[in-house]
Amino acid sequence: MSRWAPDARERLEAAALDLFVENGYEDTTVAQIAERAGLNRATFFRHFADKREVLFGGEDLLAGSFADGIHAAAPDATLTECLQAAFASAGVVMTPQQRAKAAQRVLVAAANSEVQERGLLKQARIAGAISAALRERGADELTARLGAQVGMLAFSIAVERWMGSDDDEPFPVHAAAALSDLRVRAAELGSPSGPSS
């Protein structure tokens, strides 16, 4: 395979995930990832700053598409509708191919706190992109930050359900359902928290 293959990035991501799951994140080298992808180390470093970044390439795309979705929402959209618009626009990134990768990434992150840390940093940046987009629509500071946190939680829950489901329901359907579940609970934060209420 040519080292100039246009799909080098995807091949490196797939090779890295396979190796991380097979041999562990710690014991996998960049050289091995490049070799498995049929590329060389220099090509790896043209696409990713380090070994951890190869796991999180999609996150930067997500931050941008969430923000685009929020900007494009109707002027009188509720905060929940803005978040739904964000998730709808993320459907392009959250493909069935990504669904398989997501499950591998969960395995890798569960075994390595360095990977978890990088994942959390990426999540914080996505949350920052969501709250910035909400502020630009006129939401106040606290509302924008709350919207970002609720949105990120809805996103996590939706990813878990999407990975665990055996049908091919597209990601935005899971995201809308998770968001709706959270909105109901958010309205009841002042109600008794136990199951008997």
157 binds its own copies (CB under 8 A): yes
- Centre a 10 Å sphere on the Cβ of residue 179 and count the other Cβ atoms it contains: 24
Out of 41, 71, 99, 137, name the contact with its own copies by CB under 8 A: 137
195 binds its own copies (CB under 8 A): yes
Sign of CA dihedral 17, 22, 27, 30: negative
Q: How many residues bind its own copies (CB under 8 A)?
A: 45
Which tokens is 96 given? 């069935």
Nearer to its own copies, 2 or 193 (CB): 193
37 binds its own copies (CB under 8 A): no
Q: For residues 25 and 53, give the distance between their C-alpha atoms in angstroms, rounded to a whole number.
A: 12
Out of 76, 166, 167, 168, name the contact with its own copies by CB under 8 A: 76
Nearer to its own copies, 117 or 169 (CB): 117
Out of 42, 49, 142, 168, name the contact with its own copies by CB under 8 A: 142
Nearest-10 Cα torsion for 13, 16, 19, 24: -130
Out of 33, 118, 130, 175, name the contact with its own copies by CB under 8 A: 118
Q: What per-residue string of b and e applies to 71-104 under the rule 16 or more CB within 10 Å gives b?
A: eebeeeeebbebbbbbbbbbeeebeeeeeebbeb
The distance of closest approach from Cβ of residue 72 to its own copies in the complex, given in angstroms and rounded to an integer, is 14
Which tokens is 119 given? 């994942």
The distance of closest approach from Cβ of residue 30 to its own copies in the complex, given in angstroms and rounded to an integer, is 19
Residue with tokens 């930050």: 145
Q: For residues 31 and 109, give the distance between their C-alpha atoms in angstroms, rounded to a whole number.
A: 21
Which residues, 171 to 190, sit near its own copies by CB under 8 A? Answer: 181-183, 185-190
78 binds its own copies (CB under 8 A): yes
Residues lying near its own copies in the complex (CB under 8 A): 75-80, 82, 113, 116-118, 120-121, 123-124, 134, 137-140, 142-143, 145-147, 149-150, 152-153, 157, 181-183, 185-196
